[in-house]
Amino acid sequence: MSVRKREWITPKGEAKAAWVVDYHDSQNKRRLKTFTKKREADQFAATATVEVRDGTHVADSASVTVEKAGKLWIVSGESAGLERSTVNQRKSHLKFHIVPLLGETLLSKINVPAVREFEDRMRKEGRSPAMVKKVLTSLGSILADAGERGLAMRNPVRDIKGTRKGRGSRQEKRQRGKLQIGVDIPTREEIKALVAALDGQWKTILVTAVFTGMRSSELRGLRWQDINFKRGEVNVNQRADQFKEIGPTKSEAGVRTIPVPPVVINALKEHKLKQAPGMTLVFANPDGDPRSHTNIVNKGLKPAMVRAGVTVGTGERTEAKYTGLHALRHFYASWLINRKEDGGLGLPVKMVQERMGHASIVMTMDTYGHLFPRSDDGTELAQAANSLLD
């Protein structure tokens, strides 16, 4: 690595001078980089020396822009068979957040200060803290993909996250509110009122949601062959994404068998008698396709909540208290944990994890640990359900 001064005369007779850093990169290829000031050349030489030694240096001439790397990242996701919603999210983050603020920047110029400036600019322009966090994750994923392609040798996003894992993450956990019954999780009284108010085509799917805790996508992908009426079980084997495409469950743990009480089995039998013959999906549109999540919520759940009096606001501003199917999933988890109040025993955390289809027991404890799980062998299902609905 050497820094030397270069002087020359232009065709117009003007004397010019510049400082040239002459070095070999991490692949032992000779590189020249020119600066107008010696101080800038010295700073680059010092940084490049360390990067070449550590094998993390990529010359500007061998680099690509963040926009170009982002497009390659999207291609990688499509080639890996990522869900369309995930690919669309990548495209959205790239188009609306990353490219406008960072798109023309070379990957070789992306360092910790550059990432911090990008983060600050997103906040100043009004992005929410949640969106800033998601976009930074996408930028880190772009850099990781570029690294695998040999276009980048460092990932400053990963470096920043590493420094924040200590006190920062603990503070974030303390600030993150725990799920509260009556706020995030419907109470038993609210569920009783909701079930009593259910009717029509939405009754079966919402009752099933209450007593299985299945994700919306899992409910919408449920087949008749997945229901064992004799054993009183629902088998989760697939799901329908937001584009109504059928695919595997969210994770391997999502494939599971859920014992259900008679109220669910009876509702499903009644529903099957009313459904057109030849339907594969339990909760299908008349054309046989999966129902829309939005329709289930807006035309099924919310009106039922209002009829049941599970609302917030007054007068013309009265609206459903719980506005998503995940509230019913939270209720199911809390019911599994504390069914003693309904004539049964609470399940141990491992069994709750399996019933919920969580990929790890840590996820279950992080979400529901404060509800204090107890032990149970599952035999009191019918008694607990009857007690809840009486």
pLDDT higher than threshold 90 for residue 260: yes
Regarding pTM above 0.75, the answer is no
Widest Cα–Cα separation across the chain? 99
The residue among 149 and 202 whose pLDDT is bigger is 202
pLDDT of residue 73: 94
Task: Give the pLDDT mean for 110-136.
Answer: 93
Residues found in the chain: 390
The residue among 309 and 82 whose pLDDT is bigger is 309
- Split at pLDDT 50, 70, 90, the class of 175 is very low
Q: Which helix (H) or strand (E) holds 25?
A: none
pLDDT of residue 10: 86
8 A C-beta contact, residue 38 and residue 83: no
Phi, psi (degrees; rounded to nearest 5) at 203: -60, -50
- Scored b (16 or more CB within 10 A) or e, 296-327 reads bbeebbbebbebbebbeeeeeeeebbbeebeb
pLDDT of residue 142: 94
Model confidence pLDDT, tens digit, residues 239-248: 998 888 899 9
pLDDT higher than threshold 60 for residue 131: yes
Q: What is the DSSP string of 136-149?
A: HHHHHHHHHHHHHT
Task: Give the pLDDT mean for 87-101.
Answer: 95
pLDDT of residue 319: 95
**Nearest Cα residue to 215 out of 249, 244, 245, 181:** 249
Task: Give the pLDDT mean for 135-156.
Answer: 88
Edge to edge, the sheet with strand 256-259 lists: 227-228, 233-236, 256-259
8 A C-beta contact, residue 212 and residue 190: no
- Split at pLDDT 50, 70, 90, the class of 354 is very high
* Angstrom distance (rounded) from CA 88 to CA 315: 40
Q: Please count the other Cβ atoms lying within 10 Å of the Cβ belonging to residue 77.
A: 18
pLDDT of residue 242: 85
- Scored b (16 or more CB within 10 A) or e, 37-48 reads eeeebeebbeeb
* Angstrom distance (rounded) from CA 338 to CA 356: 15
pLDDT higher than threshold 50 for residue 193: yes
Report the phi/psi class of residue 233: left, alpha or beta, with left for phi > 0 and alpha for psi in -120 to 50.
Answer: beta
* Angstrom distance (rounded) from CA 355 to CA 329: 11
> Which of 6-10, 56-60, 68-72, 275-279 has the least mean pLDDT?
56-60
Q: What is the DSSP string of 165-227?
A: TTHHHHHHHHHSPPP-BTTTB--HHHHHHHHHH--GGGHHHHHHHHHH---HHHHHT-BGGGE
Cα–chain-centroid distance for residue 54?
Answer: 34
Domains and CATH numbers, the chain: 2-57 (no CATH), 66-175 (1.10.150.130), 188-389 (1.10.443.10)
Model confidence pLDDT, tens digit, residues 8-55: 888 888 888 888 878 777 667 787 778 788 888 787 677 767 666 766
Task: Give the pLDDT mean for 206-211.
Answer: 97
pLDDT of residue 32: 78
- Split at pLDDT 50, 70, 90, the class of 208 is very high
- Split at pLDDT 50, 70, 90, the class of 341 is low
Model confidence pLDDT, tens digit, residues 359-385: 999 999 999 988 854 444 455 567 777
Give the chain's mean pLDDT. Answer: 86
Please state, in angstroms and as integers, the Cα–Cα distance from residue 270 to each residue in 83, 209, 211, 223, 227, following that order.
Answer: 34, 16, 17, 15, 14
pLDDT of residue 374: 45
pLDDT higher than threshold 50 for residue 173: no
* Angstrom distance (rounded) from CA 271 to CA 279: 12
Structure tokens at 149: 């392609």
Q: Could you give the dihedral angle defined by the CA atoms of residues 242, 243, 244 and 247, in that order, rounded to the nearest 10 degrees?
A: -80
Q: Which helix (H) or strand (E) holds 60?
A: none
